[in-house]
Amino acid sequence: MSTDKQTLPAEFDDIRPHLDHEVREVLAGLRQDPEFIPFLNQILADVPQDRQEEVMSNIHSIRDFKAMVVYHVMNKLAAKTTFSVTSSGKSGLDQSHKHTFISNHRDIILDSAFLNVICYEAFEGLPRIAIGDNLLIRPWIRSVVRLCDAFIVKRSPSVREMLKESLTLSKYIRRSITNDEESVWIAQREGRAKDSDDRTQPALLKMLAMSGGTDVPSALEELHIVPLAISYEYDPCDYLKAKEMLQKRLDPDYKKTQMDDFVNMQQGLAGEKGRVHYCFGKELKGLADIVEGCDGKQEQFVRIAEAIDREIHRNYRLYPGNYVAYDLLYGGKKFREMYSDKERAKFESYLQGQLDKIDMEHKDIDFLTQRILEMYANPLINQLKAKGELR
């Protein structure tokens, strides 16, 4: 559903996507941006120049941009850097209303980008996506992101501004679901889980509930929350995450730079991902029963976060590498029947290749190896716990 500027309160101007009537002007500005042109030529490298001009001239709305540019680019990227992108659980979604998809967070860009492809093909609907303003390191990136129907999460507001910004974000998400009839995607936590031990931050649920009154279960049920499990066979940024963890161990004050984020985005886009699977879980209902007996709202948010986590963990798609990583990490053969000798050798070769990419002083191979193995073993461990098969 298109959003008309006259019906959208000005309080959302700092975080909202571009509106349909703004699209032509924004595209015209991008076409004159010397930083954007090389990016456009790269992502549309298989499209002749005259065809590029034709495509751009036919874009008049956010939906046009997502369907004609984003969908095309993501399909091409999936064909080039994945073995497959599949999904399950879509038939269980109630199509009479829109949803808030809360997922684990693996890749800065692709988690939401591949979701758009899946939703476009399944429902002809393209969810709005949340993106942190720390990633908008250039003006043209901010413009493109807003053309992709993304809304902006301010990562580091002042203490004075934090409550105001959280409430504005909460109201925008609720409006998207209940008024604009647009689904929304947001990651379960701020930043990616470097060790793949995926946990929903209660603060996220507190933010979502802010705009819905005092009753937490009712406020969250109105958003039709659907836990979404995202599983990558290979994480092309695993070695960068391990390197960052080592840098933080060596220097507790270490902070990533904007360039580090940009390198992670580039590697996530270009790196090999193998098989990728999205599993849509069951919509969260009966939250009053889930929070029964809780002592205060904070405990309610924790209890609901745990329910989201269980659904995500149960729905991981596991690959041979997850089982190999567990056995390598713990030095046994607990899951030997879950992979062949060839699959084990392939994962070990992959692991060595990722370690070889890490270029830094004081390179602690044992530490780095353990961190990467944990990234692949933790989804298996969490799934076993969610199914009651491991304590």
Claim to verify: residue 147 and residue 291 sit in the same structural domain: yes
Give the model's confidence band at 159: pLDDT under 50 very low, under 70 low, under 90 confident, else very high: confident
* DSSP-based helix, strand, coil % in the chain, nearest 5: 55, 10, 35
Q: Among candidates 312, 19, 292, which has minimal Cα distance to 146? A: 19
The CA distance from 301 to 204, in Å, is: 9
The pLDDT of residue 136 is above 70: yes
What is residue 158's three-state secondary structure?
Answer: coil
Strand ranges across the sheet with 100-103 = 82-88, 274-280, 225-232, 100-103, 184-187, 128-132, 150-153
Quick one: 129 exposed, middle or buried, by C-beta within 10 A (0-12, 13-18, 19+)? buried
Claim to verify: residue 378 and residue 329 sit in the same structural domain: yes
Claim to verify: residue 84 and residue 156 sit in the same structural domain: yes
Considering the domain boundaries, does residue 346 fall inside one? Answer: yes
Percentage of residues in the chain having pLDDT higher than 90: 78
Claim to verify: residue 309 and residue 195 sit in the same structural domain: yes
C-alpha atoms less than 13 angstroms from C-alpha of 257 in its C-beta half-sphere: 3
Claim to verify: residue 69 and residue 143 sit in the same structural domain: yes
Q: Looking at 298, 317, 336, which one is the last position of a domain?
A: 317
Percentage of residues in the chain having pLDDT higher than 70: 98
pTM metric for this prediction: 0.94
Considering the domain boundaries, does residue 164 fall inside one? Answer: yes
Question: Which distant-in-sequence residues (6+ apart) come within 8 Å of 242 by Cβ?
Answer: 354, 358, 368, 371, 372, 375
Can you give the pLDDT at residue 261?
86
The pLDDT of residue 68 is above 60: yes
Distances (CA, A) of 83 to 141, 252, 273: 28, 38, 7
Considering the domain boundaries, does residue 81 fall inside one? Answer: yes
Considering the chain, what is the average pLDDT of its residues?
A: 93
pLDDT tens-place string over residues 294-331: 999 999 999 999 999 999 999 999 999 999 999 999 99
Claim to verify: residue 307 and residue 333 sit in the same structural domain: no
Considering the domain boundaries, does residue 391 fall inside one? Answer: no
CATH, residue 77? 3.40.1130.10
Can you give the pLDDT at residue 5?
45
The CA distance from 156 to 376, in Å, is: 30
Radius of gyration over alpha carbons of the chain, in Å? 21
Give the model's confidence band at 391: pLDDT under 50 very low, under 70 low, under 90 confident, else very high: confident
Considering the domain boundaries, does residue 231 fall inside one? Answer: yes
The CA distance from 350 to 330, in Å, is: 19
Q: What average pLDDT does this structure show over 260-288?
A: 94
Considering the domain boundaries, does residue 45 fall inside one? Answer: no
**Residue 381: which domain range?**
321-386
Considering the domain boundaries, does residue 261 fall inside one? Answer: no
**Domain total of the chain:** 2
Q: What average pLDDT does this structure show over 90-105?
A: 95
Claim to verify: residue 335 and residue 297 sit in the same structural domain: no
